[in-house]
Amino acid sequence: MELETLPGLVPTLLATLGANESIYCEHGIMLYKDPPVGVARKTIQSGGFLKTMERTAVGGIPFFLTEFIGPGHVALSRDGVGEVRMIELAANESIDVAEGSLVCAETRVGYAMEYVKGTNRPGRMIGLWMDRLTGPGKIALHGYGNIISMGLAAGEVVTCDLGALLYKSASVKAQTENLPFGSGFLGKLESFEVLALTGPGKIALQTVDPKVLHY
């Protein structure tokens, strides 16, 4: 299996699949495929049926993923400006990926979900979901805008906007916090929600919030 990026303002990922090689992705991001490439449904059952229905009904997460089975080519796009980054996950290595950023993953890559609680402020009362991907295998992610990567030492903290996180190592703790504008009652009243990321592990940030981009 080969994954390559077709560059441009809106990048495209081209997957070349051998016989019986397969990838999965979210439904609805295929641009085109060769006729021999088969299509199947990959049902999400992370956490059991009730947990899956909760994510679908409340969090807006799709109930199933689409699987493409070779031989042949399939082209995928996240329909947004930015760049596509390929990552090779080692055995048992896990990363958490922002919702709407996964382009595709090899079928052997494990798929689950991670939930980050919100601070109960309006608009973020239900928190946010992230895709948890576990190797071994190749994955491709779409970063909106540019991608900034860094490593965090144990106990080191970076604070970012909720829409800025592209992915993080599973070892990095993510917690939502209210960041006040200055001190006093007015500062707390006008506070806004941010994401505190605590190492150790790797993180990657994107310079464009995909939710703003798609409004």
Query: What CATH number should be reported for the domain holding residue 106?
Result: 3.60.160.10
Question: Which residue, chain included where needed, has tokens 């896990």?
Answer: 94
Is residue 157 scored above 90 in pLDDT? yes
Average confidence (pLDDT) over 68-87: 95
**Average pLDDT score over residue span 12-17:** 97
* Chain segment 94-153, per-residue pLDDT in tens: 999 998 899 999 999 999 888 888 887 654 546 788 899 999 999 999 999 999 999 999
Amino acid (1-letter code) at residue 7: P
> According to the model, what pLDDT value does residue 202 have?
97
User: pTM to 2 decimals?
Assistant: 0.86
Predicted pLDDT at 43? 77
Average pLDDT over residues 179-188: 69
Q: Are 107 and 62 in contact (CB under 8 A)?
A: no
Expressed as residue numbers, the domain containing 104 is 2-213
How many domains does the structure of the chain reveal?
Answer: 1
DSSP the chain: -EEEEE-SSS-EEEEEE-TT-EEEEETT-EEEE-TT-EEEEEE--TT-HHHHHHIIIII---SEEEEEESSEEEEE--SSSEEEEEEEEPTT-EEEEETT-EEEEETTSEEEEEEE---S-TT-TT-EEEEEEESSEEEEEEEES-EEEEEE-TT-EEEE-TTTEEEEETTSEEEEEEE-SSSHHHHHHT-EEEEEEESSEEEEEESS-HHHHT-
Q: What is the mean pLDDT of the chain?
A: 87
Q: pLDDT band at residue 59, thresholds of 50, 70 and 90?
A: low
* Distance between CA atoms of residues 113 and 94, nearest Å: 11
Greatest mean pLDDT range, 59-73, 170-184, 198-212 = 198-212
Question: Is the pLDDT score of 53 beyond 80?
Answer: no
pLDDT at 161 over 60: yes
Band of the pLDDT at 193, cuts 50, 70, 90?
confident
Q: Does 84 or 117 have the greater pLDDT score?
A: 84
**pLDDT over 90 (residue 201):** yes
Q: Does the structure show a pLDDT above 70 at 154? A: yes
- CA dist 40 and 52 (Å) reads 19
